[in-house]
Amino acid sequence: GAVVSQHPSWVICKSGTSVKIECRSLDFQATTMFWYRQFPKQSLMLMATSNEGSKATYEQGVEKDKFLINHASLTLSTLTVTSAHPEDSSFYICSARDVGSGSHRNEQFFGPGTRLTVL
Amino acid sequence: DQQVKQNSPSLSVQEGRISILNCDYTNSMFDYFLWYKKYPAEGPTFLISISSIKDKNEDGRFTVFLNKSAKHLSLHIVPSQPGDSAVYFCAASADGGTSYGKLTFGQGTILTVHP
């Protein structure tokens, strides 16, 4: 099946620093990747849609200058949390659509997530 | 505005019995529905999906039923196994436009299957 990896799996950083999270589709090409965040005991909230070779589309309320997304290749998207603060602490999950498999366009395969803790 | 709702935060079932997880939605533009299973500190794993043109889709022990008029879907797991214990998320998407491919998730239901 389609595999999506994330790196790092967890990170602790000081307030004010920037953190980069990578999302890779390992065995398929993903023209579109999505970034979600999940707070404890809550649902996954879509932050932005990342399209290869173009600017990301951000959901309402998500600061694009704070959460920088780059989708430079068909297998890699990165999310950079700039000037992180304690309220940015969360579980960040990416997903990718395997457009080549013949599966429905809306089936997304998720990475294992990255736990960010900002001190 | 919660467009996809899973009103039962938890469900406990005996091994071998049927597990029924429910999901309601409000957006009539949703045309595709998915169920995901998630373990703590891991990403969701795709289970099964259904298009709005169908009312049932079956895959092994998992069956999803869709009632469009009621804007309701359910996931049936038969027979339930202890390894099914996880959080189950219902998700929905709408066709075309800016929402193409975007998923809206419910809050999740914690399923516990007792041996």
pLDDT (tens digit per residue) in B5-59: 999 999 999 999 999 999 999 999 898 899 999 998 888 998 999 989 999 999 9
Q: Shortest CB distance from A49 goes to which of B49, B102, B108?
A: B102
For residue A5, pLDDT beyond 80: yes
- Binned at pLDDT 50, 70 and 90, residue B100 comes out as low
Mean pLDDT (chain B, rounded): 91
For residue A72, pLDDT beyond 90: no
Average the pLDDT over A70-94 and give the result.
93
| Other Cβ atoms closer than 10 A to B78 | 13
A42: DSSP letter: S
Phi, psi of A86 (to 5 degrees): -55, -35
Cβ atoms of B95 and B52 within 8 Å: the answer is no
Structure tokens at B32: 């595709």
For residue A104, pLDDT beyond 70: no
pLDDT at A29: 85
For residue A31, pLDDT beyond 90: no
Would you call B102 and A34 a contact, using CB atoms and an 8 Å cutoff? Answer: yes
Partners of residue A94 in chain B, C-beta under 8 Å: 43
Q: Shortest CB distance from A113 goes to which of B43, B51, B103?
A: B43
pLDDT at B17: 97
For residue A1, pLDDT beyond 80: no
Sequence-distant (6+) residues with CB within 8 A of B106 are A43, B2, B4, B5, B6, B23, B89, B90, B91
Question: Quick one: closest CA in B to A43, which residue?
Answer: B107
For residue B96, pLDDT beyond 50: no
pLDDT at A58: 94
- Percent of chain A residues topping a pLDDT of 70: 91
3-class SS of residue B84: helix
| Strand-pair partners of A80 | A20, A68
Would you call B43 and A105 a contact, using CB atoms and an 8 Å cutoff? Answer: no
Would you call B32 and A104 a contact, using CB atoms and an 8 Å cutoff? Answer: yes
Structure tokens at A24: 């890779």
Q: Shortest CB distance from B93 goes to which of A45, A93, A106?
A: A106
